[in-house]
Amino acid sequence: MERLKKEGLEWGKAIVIGFVIFIVIRMFLFTNYVVQGESMEPTLVQGNKLVVNKISYTFGDIERFDVIVFHANDEEDYVKRVIGLPGDKIEYRKDKLYINDRYYEEYFLEDKKTMRNVTGSFSLKDIANVEKIPDGYLFVLGDNRMRSEDSRHFGLVPIDEVVGKVNLRYWPLNQWEFTFKN
């Protein structure tokens, strides 16, 4: 009887420790996110389940074309692609991206190339009334430009609203992917 009691106590400790570790990981390191809507198609689609790395930007910088999750408002988080970083001058000319007057290929829009006016033509001055992205802000767009509410609509995103970088799509199982940058 004493042996069973001792073994039960050990199992109880292991369960409590496991639960505490799970909570710490969930609160500070990683979280999950379920894609809502079609703004990131075809890269991410409605119902995809993602792992968001909350500490990636603690030790590294946000990079151009990272897919991130950020707090859009008090109730919602959005998933979008980083197009512009602090100090960047962003301009689209006939669907072509120019950052600091240098053309950038948007490989993730491959299936949209046959369509015209996917992104359109605009500059930061047109949408945010600034020449360059100020420190502490990002310019983000969805990959499905025709159906995305993004920086063209709500302006620049404060970096302190970024939850983290999307590191993994784990659902559906046949679409596991670890990178969305290239």
Which residue from 159, 169, 160 is spatially nearest to 52, judged by alpha carbons? 169
Q: Is 6 a catalytic residue?
A: no
Spot the catalytic one: 39, 56, 148, 151.
39
- Separation between Cα atoms, residue 103 and residue 97, nearest integer Å: 6
- Separation between Cα atoms, residue 147 and residue 40, nearest integer Å: 9
Spot the catalytic one: 54, 56, 80, 151.
80
Task: Name the E strands within 45-161.
Answer: 49-53, 67-71, 77-84, 90-93, 96-99, 102-104, 122-123, 137-141, 157-158
| Maximum Cα–Cα distance across the chain | 79
Q: Is 125 a catalytic residue?
A: no
- List the catalytic residues: 39, 80
